[in-house]
Amino acid sequence: MTKKKLKFIDLFAGLGGFHKALHELGHECVFASELDPTLRNVYQANWGIEAQGDIKRIVEKEIESIPPHDILCAGFPCQPFSKAGKQLGRDDDRGTLFDEIAKILAFRKPKFFILENVPFIKQHDNEETWNYMHNELSNLGYEVDHQVYSPQDFGVPQHRKRIFIVGSLIGLDHFSFDEIDEQKTSLIDIHQFIEEKPKLFKELPKTNQECLKLWQTFIDQIPKETKLPGFPIWGMEFGATYPYDSTPPSKMPKYELANYKGNFGKQLTLEMTKKEQLQNLPSYARVTRKFPDWKQRYIKQSRDFYEDNKKHINGVVAEIAKYPSQSWQKLEWNVGDGERKLDNYILQFRASGIRVKKVDFFPSLVCTNTQIPIIGWQKRYITREEGLKLQSLDGISLPQNDNAAFKALGNAVNSKIVKLIAEKLIQEQPKIVELNGAKKVINGTSICSYETNEIKYERIK
């Protein structure tokens, strides 16, 4: 790494994952922006710099207030491109925030940039979004490269794939993601990230614990020689007979639907109104379009599993059916032939069901407090400090409110991965020489014009 202190800006700064990485490499943050006022206060407390607000307003009204800098960092909002969201991409107001990044790059022309987002951005809209971004960056003179990484690739037990996009005005001859790949490791000890007796923790509510006990009873009733399914178990389908591979139930007349059974085998009688009939179907079955193939597959698998095992599980199924939340009536057993004890695993209460994961890494931290990972054998949610470790943000402060804290962690960029990339990307500084009466930057095979005051570059092919 160069000994020279470079200047960077931190856009959509959040908790400061980029800041921590570049600060540890000896560089200086000269500007930060963050829309959330709570996170702006936390950012100032952690890093001693006041983060500005709406970057769209700043770029539109006072772009000159963004100081000259060498490195632009931005983990721009991922929700418009996330598979968990509506995938509106650039049609979403937040999706156009990439354009603000491009405007800053055009105005200040920093040597480098590092961007982070969800991997799906590469495939979004048949790659139109990615092609647009790549073309914009290339037209600004940047050589661009990208790679997808997860913290688990580098010894941090969290499964969280993100795409990292780098760019350089002086070429990328000195940089290769291959060098970063060489630092990958399969050695992960999740227990180094878990406190055995944390001082402050949030216990799993008793109602959740009772739900897990009920599902444990369900598991215990399955004969040992019967493999627990790897597909999602949708309890509502136990005893259901409504059609799922042809006309959706919502399109069927009431008298015809009365021939079938809904949730947990409840008869959809003629005495019910059509609305009542639909209310006694799983929420995902109330759509007006034909069910997608994957949904048809899960429905069939759950029904077949029930038919094969109902003599063992009917009693406990009747209890599971009493839960008002359908998400508590689903189980995702993701541990294969592992020991059939829920307490031995990492758990999550998700909209898609109760998820059971092996104790090798945590599921991705997400920006909703209802999906905070649970340490089964301690019957508690992970602590704030454990969440910081999983994002390589040890030692910094979080919002006082737990909901805000875990939302921020879910939106954070993993600082360790950024540091690995930044160390290689900015380690080699260009040499400035006089050539034909003008200052030139020589970097590998790239020759660029150089202007010290305005930090302007022009790639010469």
Closest CA to 12 of 402, 420, 414, 413: 413
- Tell me the per-residue pLDDT of 320-377, one tens digit each, with 9 for 90 and over: 999 999 999 999 999 999 999 999 999 999 999 999 999 988 888 887 767 899 999 9
Judge whether 211 counts as a catalytic residue: no
The model scores a pTM over 0.75: yes
Report CA Rg, the chain.
26
Residue 82 has pLDDT above 80, yes or no: no
Give residues with Cβ within 8 angstroms of 382, minimum separation 6.
194, 362, 372, 373, 374, 375, 390
Local confidence band at 122 (pLDDT 50, 70, 90 cut-offs): confident
Residue 29 CB neighbour total at 10 angstroms: 23
DSSP 447-458: EEEEETTTTEEE
* Whole-number Å distance between alpha carbons of 238 and 240: 6
Residues in the chain: 461
* Domain locations in the chain as residue ranges: 7-190+412-429, 206-382, 430-461
Q: Give the least confident one: 130-134, 161-165, 365-369, 455-459.
A: 455-459
Residue 176: φ, ψ to 5°: -150, 135
Q: Which are the contacts of 44, defined by CB distance < 8 A and separation ≥ 6?
A: 50, 51
| pLDDT at residue 197, rounded to an integer | 87
Give the pLDDT score at 433. 56
pLDDT digits (tens, 9 = 90+) for 217-248: 999 999 999 999 999 999 999 999 999 999 99
Distance CA 461, CA 459 (A): 6
Closest CA to 279 of 265, 295, 268, 291: 268
pLDDT at 428 over 70: no
pLDDT in tens, 248-286: 999 999 999 999 999 999 999 999 999 999 999 999 999
Cα–Cα distance between 107 and 403 in angstroms, integer? 37
Q: State phi, psi for 296 to the nearest 5 degrees.
A: -60, -40
168 backbone dihedrals φ, ψ, rounded to 5°:
-145, 135
Residue 458 is encoded by which pair of tokens?
Answer: 């022009």
Domain covering 7-190+412-429 assigned CATH 3.40.50.150 in the classification:
yes
Pair 71, 110: CB distance under 8 Å = yes
- Whether the pLDDT of residue 70 is over 90: the answer is yes
- Tokens for 14, please give them: 């959040």
Q: Are 270 and 258 in contact (CB under 8 A)?
A: yes
**Is 257 in contact with 274 (CB distance < 8 Å)?**
yes
For residue 400, count CB atoms less than 10 angstroms from its CB and return exposed for 0-12, middle for 13-18, buried for 19 or more. Answer: exposed
Q: Which pLDDT band holds residue 3 (cuts at 50, 70, 90)?
A: low
Nearest CA-CA partner of 258 in 240, 247, 245, 271 = 271
Mean pLDDT for 99-120 is: 95
- pLDDT tens-digit readout, 157-207: 999 999 999 999 999 999 999 999 999 998 888 989 999 889 889 999 999
pLDDT band at residue 438 using 50, 70 and 90 as cut-offs: low
Q: Is the pLDDT confidence value at 455 over 70?
A: no
Reduced to 3 states (helix: H, G, I; strand: E, B; else coil), residue 207 is helix
Joined tokens for residue 254: 């009431």
Which letter, b or e, does each residue of 207-223 get, where b requires 16 or more Cβ atoms within 10 Å of its Cβ? ebeebbebbeebbeebe
- Residue 281 backbone dihedrals phi, psi, to 5 degrees: -110, 160
Q: Which of 78, 211, 367, 448 is catalytic?
A: 78
Over the stretch 13-57, which tens digit does the pLDDT of each residue have? Answer: 999 999 999 999 999 999 999 999 999 999 999 999 999 999 999
Q: In what side-by-side order are the strands of the sheet with 71-74?
A: 28-32, 7-11, 71-74, 112-117, 162-168, 143-149
Q: Which tokens is 274 given?
A: 């059509």
